Amino acid sequence: MSWRTFFAMGGYAAYVWSAYGFATVVLLWNVVSAVRKRRAVLAMLRELALAGQTPKETGRATLLSE
Amino acid sequence: MYKYASPKNFYALAGRLIPWLGAVTLLLFIAGLYLGLYVAPPDYQQGDSYRIMFIHVPSAWMSMFVYMMMAGGGLVGLVWNIKLADMLATASAPIGASLTLSALVTGSLWGRPTWGTYWVWDARLTSELILFFLYMGFIALQAAIDDPRRSARAGAVLALVGVVNIPIIHFSVVWWNTLHQPASIGSLGKIVSPSIYPSMLHPLLIMSVAFFLFYFTVLLIRMRGEILARERHTGWVAEIVRATPEIRGTHP
């Protein structure tokens, strides 16, 4: 099978590749947002620590406002 | 086993598991995509458009499975007041919502060439759309409540009420006349003697396992973030924060 026939998907290229493209975006978003969320928490706690403050035990809006 | 129920130990265990889970998931995705897009033959009726199945069906299965994990976590948190269960529920919501969206969009892109329409307000599609709104409602509700314990409780109640939608999605193709086809693989019996060819079944099963492990990989990453946030007043988190070098890209 040539690359051209592979990408043509028997005439359904627009549907097949849009679907796979969308799913890829969803999966990548999941990884990136999960990693960034944890890093954001760490960065914020680090800033608090550098400012010499102890984080409060409750309330998350201040810490997790995204 | 119980040792890992403490956030501190869970955080460490998850950190060790994530690279392995992620690597296996990636290999399964590569194998599944190769078999599904390249090796499997075109369908005799649908041509190549049926290949959307390899991402649509796992997305749809996971949209329901993740919801049950979210509601289950909520229930355990509600009844036994276990923080990790609450965090599991909170961390599952965005993953489940995005996979529901993936099921809806890929299904729509599959529906156009096979049914002649992107969308129809039938039972299966509508109940799946409601599932998406349930996830969004859960996320919005939790974000609106500042106190983490009250936030977890409110979310759990919403998630548990919404569980009623899951059997509706599952049986919608049986109970109502719909454009959506009934399940090709719904029971163990059908796995043993399925109604689709092995060359199409194998990539579907591999992609399903890949999506399944993908959920757990991302779930663990998200739960680690949740743990740091909710245990921030503890000494061990302070220790981690102290050991963290300056993080690139997070400063304005």
pLDDT in tens, B62-109: 999 999 999 999 999 999 999 999 999 999 999 999 999 999 999 999
Task: Report pLDDT for B194.
Answer: 59
Using alpha carbons, list the distances in angstroms from residue B245 to A1, B237, B241, B248. 50, 14, 8, 9
pLDDT band at B5 (very low <50, low <70, confident <90, very high): confident
Encoded tokens for B145: 């409540």
Name the nearest CA neighbour of B152 among B141, B166, B136: B141
Per the structure, the complete domain to which residue A31 belongs is given by: 3-51+58-64
Which of A18, A27, A39 to mutate against chain B (most B CBs within 10 Å)? A27
Counted domains in chain A: 1
Question: Is residue A53 less than 8 Å (CB to CB) from chain B?
Answer: no
- Amino acid (one-letter) located at B170: H
| B78 neighbors B157 (Cβ within 8 angstroms) | yes
Which is it for the CA torsion B187, B188, B191, B192, positive or negative? negative
Contacting B residues, span 164-203, partner chain A, CB-CB under 8 Å: none
> What's the whole-number mean pLDDT along residues B1-5?
63
> How far is B26 from B60, CA to CA, in rounded Å?
20
In chain A, which residues have their Cβ closer than 8 Å to the Cβ of B222?
34, 37-38
Task: Report pLDDT for A61.
Answer: 44
Q: Per-residue pLDDT for B133 more than 90? A: yes
pLDDT tens digits, A1-60: 788 899 899 999 999 999 999 999 999 999 999 999 999 999 999 988 888 777 776 555
In chain A, which residues have their Cβ closer than 8 Å to the Cβ of B224?
38
Task: Report pLDDT for A49.
Answer: 86
pLDDT tens digits, B10-36: 999 999 999 999 999 999 999 999 999
